[in-house]
Structure 1
Amino acid sequence: MTVLKASRRKASTKAEQRAEMIEQILDAAELLFSRHGLYGVTLKDVAKQVGVHHTLINYYFDDKKALFNEVFARRAVVTSERRMRMLEEYEQASAGQPTVEGALRAFLDTDLDLYIEGGESWKNYGALASQVANTPEWGAAMMDEHFDPVVLRLIGLLKQALPGCAEENIFWGYHFVSGALMLTLARTGRVDKLSGGLCRSEDFAAVKQRMSTFMAAGFLAICRKEEPE
Structure 2
Amino acid sequence: MKSLIIETIICQMYKVTMNKTQKPTNQRLLDAAEVLFAKDGFSAVTVRQIAKKAEADISLVYYHFKSKRELFEAVLMRRAKYLNDLRLDELEKIERRHEEDVPSLEEIIYAFVYPLLKKLSEDHDEWTHYFSLIAMVNNSPSWGGQMMTKYFDPLVHRFLKAIRRVFPDCEEADLYWSYHFLSGALTLTFAETGRIDNLSDGICQSSDMKSIIERLPKFIAGGFSSLCKK
Fold similarity call, TM over 0.5: yes
From 174, 180, 187, the equivalent of 1:182 is 187
Aligned mates of 2:37, 2:210 — CA distance in 1? 25
| Within-5 A mapping of 1:135-214 | 135-214=140-219
1:104 corresponding residue in structure 2: 109
By percentage of residues, which structure has more helix?
A: 1
Aligned residue-pair number: 214
State, as a whole percentage, how many aligned pairs show the same letter. Answer: 36
2:30 is the counterpart of 1:26: yes
Aligned mates of 2:103, 2:166 — CA distance in 1? 5
Unmatched segments (≥5 aa) in structure 2: 9-19
Of residues 209-218 and 112-121 in structure 1, the stretch that sits farther from structure 2 once superposed is 112-121
Shift of 1:56: 2.6
Structure 2-normalised TM-score?
Answer: 0.86
Aligned mates of 1:102, 1:38 — CA distance in 2? 36
2:126 corresponding residue in structure 1: 121
2:16 corresponding residue in structure 1: none
Aligned mates of 1:212, 1:164 — CA distance in 2? 22
Of residues 197-206 and 175-184 in structure 1, the stretch that sits farther from structure 2 once superposed is 197-206
2:70 corresponding residue in structure 1: 66
Aligned mates of 2:52, 2:85 — CA distance in 1? 33
The answer (yes or no) to whether the contact 1:61–1:67 under 8 Å persists in 2 is: yes
Of residues 207-216 and 53-62 in structure 1, the stretch that sits farther from structure 2 once superposed is 53-62
The answer (yes or no) to whether the contact 1:73–1:146 under 8 Å persists in 2 is: yes
Shift of 1:129: 0.5
- Secondary structure, counterpart of 2:43 in structure 1: helix
The answer (yes or no) to whether the contact 1:47–1:54 under 8 Å persists in 2 is: yes
- Secondary structure, counterpart of 2:24 in structure 1: helix
Aligned mates of 1:130, 1:64 — CA distance in 2? 20
1:35 corresponding residue in structure 2: 39
Unmatched segments (≥5 aa) in structure 1: 1-6
Shift of 1:83: 0.9
- Secondary structure, counterpart of 1:201 in structure 2: coil
